[in-house]
Structure 1
Amino acid sequence: MLNNFAFGYNISVPVHIILRSGGSVMTMLVGYVWGKRYTSMQIFSVTMLTAGIGVAAMADAQAKGKMKSTSSTKIDPEFITGLMILAVAQLLSAIMGIYSELTYSEYGRHWHENLFYQHSLSIPMFYPFFPSLLEQLKKLVYSEPIQLSPSLYQFLHTKSNSTFGSGDLQLPPMALSPSVFQVALPKHVFNLIVNAGTQFACIRGVNALSARTSALGVSIALNVRKLVSLCVSLWLFGNKLPPGVLLGAVIVFGSTSIWAWEGQRIRIKDKRKGKMQ
């Protein structure tokens, strides 16, 4: 909720990605305070991963002309407020990740319960934002309805004629005219439903992953997902891949490989210690 709320304080999407990529570092710091200890290779890989996300996001923003000029020394109070909101969100997210990890270790890895309680208990927190949510919902409801593309119209028109033939069940031609045939569902409501479905799949996967690995491992996986999403968006919209994004991708996947290799080395070492005891 705080991550989305920050957009109202002059936080651009590239800056949002860069700051949220520090989630792994924040998780490591919270874990250290909580008593966890990390090897030098793990610290190095997390630092490089965060830097790689930042390089890729800044390169993408510069290629699209979305980065603000740094020549102005004027401080934007809204921007500072947005940074503070994102910092608090990162801290709370790191604490929740460590707490979930401790809960799994003590009560069992029942991620379905964790998914349910996380979202059901957070519903009352949306009450202060109800007027704003209601206003946004009205805008979605009153958006233009979904219109069929000419190719889809032609497909439906052909299928209706081939299915019903020239009998009494043939659909009227005007019913499938591109100028009048529309789906009653508003366009933005449809987009919201699709987005909610993809978010549900993502959150479900994150909770399933959190039951099988550490909070820091989940944070690293989410950072890799951010870079993959950035690259997929570049591909879908036909944009050229800036050299900085390619460099960031190499850094991210290289640091992730270092993390995985170091984790495997630690697990093998722990198994050997267990056998010796």
Structure 2
Amino acid sequence: RYYFIMVAMFFTVSVVNNYALNLNIAMPLHMIFRSGSLIASMALGIIILKKRYSVSKYTSIALVSVGIFTCTFMSAKQVASDSGVNEEDGLQVFLWWLLGIAALTFALLMSARMGIFQEMLYKQFGKHSKEALFYNHALPLPGFLLLAPNIYQHAVLFSQSEPFQVPVVGLTLPIMWFYLLMNVVTQYVCIRGVFILTTECTSLTVTLVVTLRKFVSLIFSILYFHNPFTAWHWLGTLFVFVGTLMYTEVWNSLGPFLARWRKRPKEE
């Protein structure tokens, strides 16, 4: 029963996040919204679990969120300026956009709630990351039959992409299918790690790690595609770095270490 609840949340978040792109939501705006996951996780942790955090924790989450928002926003501006797409005017378009914003907000809060639900589940029934990973991805499969026409349409488009020869193996297949295969492999490694992490850490810590992974991906994409790395990107990176150090309380560990290091010459 509990797994069905978690699976329902997972399926809903996945579908709503993807469907929001059909509601006049541009991909850059979609990325910016996802950067608010830390704030959502902390807010629901306070409301549902009645958690209280130190001032340094609040500050660190704010710094990381602002840093990621800054980098994402500046990258989104570059994408928007390069795309040159003319925005449509009209009340209908605006209303669809508002519906898209509502969908993204719902998915953001639902995702944070799912993390808290997992944390409570592991506390009650023990740490079974492999079991949770299996049920979380196997049980929603029948639900995707509802999206069969859309999946088939994209499968046809994938098959029509240019051929690509896989290195070492020598197998030739459409390049989009190769990208999908690589995405599945890397996603499995990533999600497997996340599910292990959920058994050992709080939902807020897991959200921080996943958010930092997204930040690294963003920085890597900027460098890989040779996009401008502006002063705003440096500022955002600094915020993320300082916020992460504050959250992990590295300063508290460094304090005693530096104190002992300063005393060493006197003792000798």
> 4+ runs of 1 displaced by more than 6 Å?
67-70, 72-75, 262-265
Distance in 1 (CA, whole Å) between partners of 2:22 and 2:121 is 34
* Pairing 1:191–2:191 present: no
* Pairing 1:119–2:140 present: no
Pairs within 5 Å for 1:126-137: 126-137=144-155
Aligned to 1:6: 20
More helix by share: 2
Identity of aligned residues (%): 32
Distance in 2 (CA, whole Å) between partners of 1:215 and 1:66 is 37
Distance in 1 (CA, whole Å) between partners of 2:90 and 2:146 is 35
The letter of the residue matching 2:30 is H
Q: Do the aligned partners of 2:60 and 2:244 also contact (CA within 8 Å) in 1?
A: yes
Q: How many residues align?
A: 234
Task: Describe the shift of the 1:196–1:263 C-alpha distance in structure 2 as closer, same or farther (beyond 3 A).
Answer: farther
Q: Do the aligned partners of 2:165 and 2:173 also contact (CA within 8 Å) in 1?
A: no
TM, length-normalised to structure 1: 0.76
User: C-alpha deviations, 1:96-136, integer Å up to 9, x for none?
Assistant: 10111111112211111111111122223323212111111
- Aligned-residue CA RMSD in angstroms? 2.8
User: C-alpha deviations, 1:23-68, integer Å up to 9, x for none?
Assistant: 1111111111212222222122112211111111111223342699
Aligned to 1:62: 77
TM, length-normalised to structure 2: 0.78
Larger Rg: 1
Match of 1:87 among 81, 96, 105: 105
SS of the aligned residue for 1:36 comes to coil
Match of 1:29 among 26, 37, 43: 43
Q: Do the aligned partners of 1:145 and 1:183 also contact (CA within 8 Å) in 2?
A: no
| Gap runs ≥5 in structure 1 | 157-181, 266-277
* Pairing 1:256–2:256 present: no
Task: Describe the shift of the 1:141–1:245 C-alpha distance in structure 2 as closer, same or farther (beyond 3 A).
Answer: same
Task: Describe the shift of the 1:73–1:25 C-alpha distance in structure 2 as closer, same or farther (beyond 3 A).
Answer: farther
